[in-house]
Amino acid sequence: MSKIQRVQTIIIAVFIIAASIFMMLITPDSALNIMAGILSISLFIYGVRRLIYYFSMARHMVGGRLMLYLGIVIFDFGMLTLMMASIPRFYIALYLIAVFAFSGIIDVARSLETMLFRSSSWKFRLFSGLISIAVAILCIVYINSADMLVYFYCAGLIYSAVARIITAFRKTEIVYIQ
Q: What is the mean pLDDT of residues 21-28?
A: 86
Residues contacting residue 112 through CB under 8 Å, at least 6 positions apart: 122, 126
CB within 8 A of 161, min separation 6: which ones? Answer: 12, 13, 14, 16, 17, 20
Check residue 5 and give its pLDDT: 86
What is the tens place of the pLDDT at every residue in 130-170?
888 888 888 888 888 878 888 888 888 888 889 889 888 87
* Nearest-angstrom CA–CA distance, 7 and 164: 11
Residue 14 has pLDDT above 90, yes or no: yes
CA dist 46 and 32 (Å) reads 21
Q: How confident is the model at residue 39 (pLDDT cuts 50, 70, 90)?
A: confident
3-state DSSP assignment of residue 62:
coil
- The per-residue pLDDT for range 69-128, each reduced to its tens digit, is 888 998 988 888 788 766 767 777 787 788 888 888 988 888 888 888 777 777 878 888
Is the whole-model pTM more than 0.95?
Answer: no
CA-to-CA distance for 156 and 53, rounded, in angstroms?
29
| Full DSSP string of 78-141 | HHHHHHGGGS-HHHHHHHHHHHHHHHHHHHHHHHHHHHHTT-TTHHHHHHHHHHHHHHHHHHHH
128 contacts 103 by C-beta, under 8 angstroms: no
